[in-house]
Amino acid sequence: MLSACDNGDLPPATQFSPLSGTVTDSVTHQPIADATVIVDTVLTATTDANGKFTFAKVPSGIMDYVVRAKGYADITATVNAEPGKAFELNVAMQQPTPP
């Protein structure tokens, strides 16, 4: 599932890149379904049953992302996507350490 502001209000970029990837458990390596992937606080995708997600286009260059899934610690990072080149983002999530 892909949702975003569909009025052209994406961050400025000279080009865009496709972005896809997989979200898995860092210990079991099993896919995590229904994780949320947020790019530059504007674009959002939800992983499927196989932990996979896809964005048809994201602004190329430096982008921030957040990955969230129930029962796991959020992951926040920054990556650099080259203009016009497909970018793959594979994320291994960890369950939070009990207090």
Q: Which two tokens stand for residue 34?
A: 């229904």
Query: pLDDT at position 12, please?
Result: 52
28 close to 43: Cβ distance less than 8 angstroms? no
Sign, CA dihedral 77-32-69-36, equals positive
Residue pair 21/53 in contact (Cβ under 8 Å)? The answer is yes
For residue 48, the model assigns a pLDDT of 98
pLDDT at residue 3, rounded to an integer = 45
Place of tokens 């379904």: 33
Full-model pTM: 0.81
Architecture per CATH, domain 14-93, reads as Sandwich (2.60)
Q: Are 32 and 40 in contact (CB under 8 A)?
A: no
| pLDDT single digits (tens) 8-62 | 555 555 688 899 999 999 999 999 999 999 999 889 999 999 999 999 988 888 9
Q: Does the pLDDT of residue 6 top 80, yes or no? A: no
pLDDT value at position 76? 95
Q: Return the domain boundaries, the chain.
A: 14-93
